[in-house]
């Protein structure tokens, strides 16, 4: 009799409580996560991805001399913009390329600048400067396109500028050229701002 009870008791335990309880919890949890969780969490991510666009300008392997040898890491220069007059540039450093790019995106979103646009071009000619890099930005007629290359082209496209003429006048290091372009775009002024600073109306400014 004792042997029969020992054999029956484990079977009763497996079929009754321990087996059913985890299965029910798993089903309930999976139903909640599968039904409402991912659907709700993906909507903000899709909106964010559709609004902001990222472009990798440069990825370099850099070394740092430390005690005991050299430490290898990666530096990523990333530009972020929404195509509606906002653009920024950031730099990220990490031991892996993906981590460096992610840090660059976060850094770029912290330094966004607003670009005043007149249709698809910029209001006036301007020079941007960063270090030994200088770049000239000049308005262009509709249909001209973005006449620029390298880092300057990426910044202008992300800012939403569709027609512009540019010329690099100095060092062509990608990071400095990108920062010079952002510097020039940040210093652009609209006609209303220029008229207000002069203390005249827009009609008098164009007269």
The answer to whether position 204 is within a domain reads no
Instruction: Choose the final residue of a domain: 11, 29, 47.
Output: 47
CATH number, residue 102: 3.30.160.20
159 and 93 both lie in a single domain: no
122 and 152 both lie in a single domain: yes
The pLDDT assigned to 19 comes to: 43
The answer to whether position 207 is within a domain reads no
The answer to whether position 199 is within a domain reads no
The answer to whether position 200 is within a domain reads no
The pLDDT assigned to 25 comes to: 45
Task: Give the distance from CA 46 to its chain's centroid.
Answer: 14
128 and 166 both lie in a single domain: yes
What does the mean pLDDT of the chain come to? Answer: 82
Angle between helices 151-159 and 174-186 (to 10 degrees): 30
| Arithmetic mean of pLDDT, 154-181 | 94
Q: Which residue has the higher pLDDT, 41 or 179?
A: 179
Q: Cβ contacts of residue 16 below 8 Å, gap of 6+?
A: none
Residues 53-73 have pLDDT tens digits of: 999 999 999 999 999 899 999
69 and 130 both lie in a single domain: no
pLDDT band at 169 (very low <50, low <70, confident <90, very high): very high
Total structural domains in the chain?
3
Residues 72-126 have pLDDT tens digits of: 999 999 999 999 999 999 999 999 999 999 999 999 999 999 999 998 999 999 9
pLDDT band at 50 (very low <50, low <70, confident <90, very high): low
31 and 93 both lie in a single domain: no
Residue 182 has pLDDT above 50, yes or no: yes
42 and 101 both lie in a single domain: no
109 and 89 both lie in a single domain: yes
Instruction: Answer left, alpha or beta for residue 104, where phi above 0 means left and psi between -120 and 50 means alpha.
Output: alpha
Structural domain of 42? 2-47
């Amino acid at each position: 009799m004792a042997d029969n009870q020992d054999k029956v008791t484990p079977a009763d335990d497996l079929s009754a409580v321990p087996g059913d309880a985890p299965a029910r919890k798993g089903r309930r949890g999976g139903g909640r996560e599968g039904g409402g969780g991912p659907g709700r969490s993906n909507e903000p991510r899709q909106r964010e991805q559709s609004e902001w666009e990222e472009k990798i300008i440069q990825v370099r392997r850099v070394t740092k001399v430390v005690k005991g040898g050299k430490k290898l890491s990666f530096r990523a220069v990333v530009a972020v913009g929404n195509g509606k007059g906002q653009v920024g540039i950031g730099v990220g450093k990490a031991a892996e390329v993906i981590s460096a790019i992610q840090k660059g995106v976060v850094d770029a979103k912290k330094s966004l600048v607003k670009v005043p646009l007149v249709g698809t071009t910029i209001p006036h000619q301007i020079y941007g400067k960063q270090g030994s890099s200088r770049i000239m930005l000049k308005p262009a007629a509709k249909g001209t396109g973005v006449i620029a290359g390298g880092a300057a082209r990426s910044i202008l496209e992300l800012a939403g500028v569709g027609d512009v003429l540019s010329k690099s006048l100095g060092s062509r290091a990608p990071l400095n050229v990108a920062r010079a372009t952002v510097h020039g775009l940040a210093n652009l002024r609209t006609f209303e701002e220029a008229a207000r600073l002069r203390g005249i109306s827009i009609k008098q400014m164009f007269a």
